Amino acid sequence: MPRNEPVLLTVILNWRTPEMTLRATDSALREMEGIAGEITIVDNDSQDGSFERMQEEVSARGWSRVRVLQSGRNGGFGAGNNVGIRAGMADGTAPDYIYILNSDAFPDPGAIRALLTHLEAHPKTGFAGSYIHGEDGDPHLTTFRFPSIASEFEGAIRLGPVSRWLKARAVPVPIPEATTRVDWLAGASLMMRAEVLEEIGLFDEGFFLYFEETDLCHRAKNAGYPTDFVRESSVTHIGSVSTGMKEWQAVPEYWFASRRRYFSKTHGRAYGVLATLAHVAGGGLHRLRCLVTGRKPADPPGFLRDLIAHEFRRPAPQAPRTRSDTAPVNGV
């Protein structure tokens, strides 16, 4: 494969959504027309026939630039994507860029090219992500600041004066109208420079789900490689298809574990405890206000109780650099 043009490896992770994954692959193939590279679908040990179904369809549709791999275990979002990244290109050569695309995300015309063009034009930028919108055209908020003690309090109290006071510390960043730099982006459509991953490592597989993109962007920024939101790249996203987040009646254990790991790893155990205390304080005041006004609290029932239990009643694991933090991209 000639190296006078950038080579792109697109990785799409599947978990029990084979038809949607094939739809995402079809969209990505269309948008990779004229771009050197391949698509790797990773089945994250669905054990429901997804792997075989996708293999059959890829063969039947004659998609020569697509291969389907089996992870062998469901280690979560980061671990599954790492399988595809480590596999590299089918011929053993190294890609210049890795593009992570959700199985329920469909690149709009020019979306992939816009990310690639941006990274080629800005060699100091590590990652670039898309503007995300729903099938109804409504924008999805995917631009964020890194979490902090202040942001934990602001997000939990849900009070206008406090939010205005801590506006510069709030995690959500209003969707920019133009391409700009942000702390981190959701991983529905995220392109990464392979040499940056070679330096900082891949996704930390200690995160099963949630906070893994936050951690990766944090490591990249600390190494001098910021993340850019590219407004010209637009992607249609359904959202929460595999996780079922929209139907959560209670926050799952892995969310609490990922949150704790992130704070402990990036700021230390003491900071993580203070962040939890700030969230509990803000959440308690929110519930008091709801009690007075007769409103329903925004969090699921028992959320603060579960947060406290996870933080203080169970030993918090150390957050060492994992194999995924240091493992190189295959062939890079």
The model's pTM is 0.92
Taking only the tens place, the pLDDT of each residue in 136-148 is: 999 999 999 999 9
Give the span between the Cα atoms of 142 and 189, in whole angstroms. 10
Cα 152 to Cα 30: distance, rounded to the nearest angstrom: 41
How far CA 166 is from CA of 59, 69, 169, 172, 266, in Å, comes to 53, 45, 5, 12, 21
Give the DSSP H/E element, type plus range, for residue 140. strand 139-140
Q: Could you tell me the pLDDT band of residue 239, with boundaries at 50, 70 and 90?
A: confident
Average pLDDT over residues 113-134: 98
Give yes or no for residue 106 having a pLDDT over 70.
Answer: yes
Average pLDDT of the segment spanning 201-216: 97
- Take residue 331 and report the two structure tokens written for it: 């062939």
Contact (Cβ atoms closer than 8 angstroms) between residue 129 and residue 142:
yes
CB atoms within 10 A of CB 291: 10
> What is the reported pLDDT for 250?
86
Determine contact, residues 118/8, Cβ cutoff 8 Å. no
Report the DSSP beta bridge partners of residue 144. 172, 184
